[in-house]
Amino acid sequence: MNVIIYGTGKMAEFICYSFTKDSPYNVVAFCVDDAYVPPAGSTLQNLPILSFAQVTKDFPPDAYKMHIAIGRNSARESVYNKVSAAGYGFASYVSSKANVWPDLVMGHNTFIDQCCDIQPFVTIGNNCMLIGSRIGHHCTLEDNILLSGNILAGNVTVGKNSFLGINSAVKEDVIIGTHNIIGAGVFINKNTEDYAIITNASAPQRIGDSKRFVMFNKAQEAKPA
């Protein structure tokens, strides 16, 4: 099956390489928003960089899938919804080098890299990225999540649109609220509220900061190039 990678950043390059070297998919192009189209003939990894308008014109949904390779959760969610509304299906990727049990339940447009270790009875939602993470048994990850080099103990729930930074860890049975930003090296041993930002183990939860951060990101995404 042919797939188009949406995005041209370093994450998109990494994801394209992973699909090319370690999946049955054939990557045929990169895609960007119409406002960010580079000069005609531009390429990345010897593949063309196309506008979304051109993709919808020349690459029909019945013959091509998409993978949204954008790190920031809010931007990835916005593009995912746009691409889905255009009728495209999504390719997910699980590295052959990852330790994953066969009962994993996984949504669309999810990426699991080679350093992940995922125990049984885990559910992962749509549009998630897992980079070098260890996920304990009975964990639930909701939609639009980015995990980067962290550890979740058993029966943890991570709310939608949350980000957990490098070397963060979450105690068993904890619920991480939606739209959380958990900084590098933080240990979470109790439930968090929605929109919490926690930057180190001693700092109190700052409820509402993440909501302002999300609103700022959406405003930035709306600006033309």
| Long-range contacts of residues 148-152, Cβ cutoff 8 Å, at least 24 apart | 149/115, 150/182
- For 75, the 3-state DSSP assignment is helix
Which segments of 36-104 are extended strands (E)? 43-44, 47-51, 64-68, 93-94, 99-100
- Find the farthest-apart pair of alpha carbons in the chain and give their distance in angstroms, rounded: 53
Rg (CA), the chain: 18
What's the CA gap between 172 and 199, in Å, rounded? 20
Q: Does 185 belong to an annotated binding site?
A: no
Q: Does 71 belong to an annotated binding site?
A: yes
How many contiguous H segments (helices) and E segments (strands) does the chain have?
4, 23
Torsion of CA 140, 167, 111, 79, to 10 degrees: 90
**What residue numbers does the annotated binding site cover?**
71, 166
Binding residues for substrate: 71
Residue list, annotated binding site for acetyl-CoA: 166
